[in-house]
Amino acid sequence: MTTTLRPEGPETPTAAGGRTRRWQICANGRQVGALRTTAVPHGSQLWGEIAELEVREGRGRGRGTFGALAAEEVLRGWGCTRVDANIPEPARIARALATTLGYTERMRNLAKRLTASPALPAGVTADRIGPAEFPAWLDETAEGYVRSLVESGLSEEQARAKSYVDHLRQLPQGADSPGVALRRLRAAGGSEPLGSLWVDLHLRDLPGGEPLAWVMVVEVSPAHRGRGHGRTLMLLAERECLAAGVHNLGLNVFSDNEVAIRLYASLGYRVTNRIYGKSL
């Protein structure tokens, strides 16, 4: 039996300047599964993504393995230097396959349905990060993001390229970028920041059509860690979403950040996807 990868439709450009295509996994010319490959620019590099991988017929015959390896070859041909696979949380077999093929879990997506706006603890206030504070905050945030990316398995060059592109794309007008909430948490009456928050309030659509906001940064200042301010910042994120009329909030967490994972679980966030990656 011959297994092949066949285009399901034309290659199309992505909003970020990359390219994407959906493919059929075929056995003896008959479709038995499908997947999607996407190349995403990160600075001077291209990163590959494999998504929507499914085997509909003849599971356990290596068709998923063939599809993933064939997708990697497509992405190498597109010039990608690494590949990530975004795998839904219920897909345990797909996660096992990724591990077998040399992928390492880097990150988890979590989400929560918001109902009532939570109250913030007494003794803290939140204010906007304005243009005067923005450059210093951005430098600090970008460096922290680079460190996290390196710890998750990226080279420093890859991490800096991704950090630059991500921040430029999400904050094109700095502190005045539309559709974002940039906040500092402070003690009431104090000037020293306890932490900072960045929420993207752009209305991304969930599969059912509902909007989804995203926590981009939640960072407690080093001198104030271990005092519950991370929880307060997440409550603030939920308040900002509900004030904007958004009832679904998601976030990324690096898989080795056990403290943050426990915090999010205690607040009711649940894993929706896991991201596995490796170099090509």
Structure confidence by residue, pLDDT tens digits, 82-110: 999 989 999 998 899 999 999 999 999 99
- Are β-strands 248-254 and 124-128 bridged in parallel, bridged antiparallel, or unpaired? unpaired
Domain assignment present for residue 252? The answer is yes
pLDDT-derived band at 165 (thresholds 50, 70, 90) equals: confident
Question: Looking at the DSSP assignment, which residues form a beta bridge with residue 204?
Answer: 212
Cα dihedral 148/249/43/179 (nearest 10):
-130
Residue 197 to residue 195: CA distance in whole angstroms: 7
Q: What is the pLDDT of residue 144?
A: 82
Cα dist. 147→9, 156, 230 in Å? 39, 8, 19
Which amino acid is it at 278?
K
Structure confidence by residue, pLDDT tens digits, 96-151: 999 999 999 999 999 999 998 999 999 999 999 999 998 888 888 888 888 877 87
Domain assignment present for residue 235? The answer is yes
Q: Which two tokens stand for residue 17?
A: 């300047």
Q: Is 154 in contact with 99 (CB distance < 8 Å)?
A: no
Give me the domain span that covers residue 80: 3-102
Domain assignment present for residue 182? The answer is yes
Structure confidence by residue, pLDDT tens digits, 258-271: 999 999 999 999 99
Final residue of a domain: which of 49, 76, 102?
102
Q: What is the pLDDT of residue 15?
A: 78
pLDDT-derived band at 1 (thresholds 50, 70, 90) equals: low
Domain assignment present for residue 280? The answer is no
pLDDT-derived band at 207 (thresholds 50, 70, 90) equals: low
Question: Looking at the DSSP assignment, which residues form a beta bridge with residue 34?
Answer: 24, 54
Q: What is the pLDDT of residue 205?
A: 67
Q: What is the pLDDT of residue 238?
A: 96
Rg (CA), the chain: 21
Domain assignment present for residue 75? The answer is yes
Same-domain status, 79 and 119: no
Same-domain status, 134 and 83: no
Cα dist. 80→39, 47, 83, 165, 280 in Å? 7, 5, 7, 16, 7
Q: Is 162 in contact with 226 (CB distance < 8 Å)?
A: no
Same-domain status, 151 and 34: no
pLDDT-derived band at 59 (thresholds 50, 70, 90) equals: confident
- Are β-strands 124-128 and 180-187 bridged in parallel, bridged antiparallel, or unpaired? antiparallel
Looking at the predicted structure, is the pLDDT value of residue 44 above 80?
Answer: no
Looking at the predicted structure, is the pLDDT value of residue 152 above 80?
Answer: no
Same-domain status, 94 and 143: no
Percent of the chain with pLDDT over 70: 96
Percent of the chain with pLDDT over 90: 56
Q: What is the pLDDT of residue 275?
A: 94
pLDDT-derived band at 159 (thresholds 50, 70, 90) equals: confident
Same-domain status, 33 and 159: no
Same-domain status, 146 and 252: yes
Same-domain status, 156 and 39: no
Same-domain status, 78 and 28: yes
In this prediction, residues 160-185 reach a mean pLDDT of 86
Beta strands in 156-247 (DSSP E): 180-187, 193-205, 211-220
Instruction: State the CATH number of the domain containing residue 77.
Output: 3.40.630.30
Final residue of a domain: which of 61, 79, 102?
102
Cα dist. 31→55, 109, 144, 183 in Å? 9, 30, 45, 50
Q: What is the pLDDT of residue 149?
A: 79
Looking at the predicted structure, is the pLDDT value of residue 63 above 70?
Answer: yes
Looking at the predicted structure, is the pLDDT value of residue 203 above 90?
Answer: no
Which contiguous run of DSSP H or E holds residue 51?
strand 45-55
- Are β-strands 12-13 and 193-205 bridged in parallel, bridged antiparallel, or unpaired? unpaired
Q: Is 270 in contact with 138 (CB distance < 8 Å)?
A: no
Phi, psi of 9, deg, nearest 5:
-165, -175
Same-domain status, 170 and 190: yes
Q: What is the pLDDT of residue 181?
A: 94
* Between residues 8 and 15, the one the model is more confident about: 8
Domain assignment present for residue 171? The answer is yes
Count of structural domains, the chain:
2
Q: What is the pLDDT of residue 2?
A: 78
pTM: 0.83
Cα dihedral 132/133/135/136 (nearest 10):
140
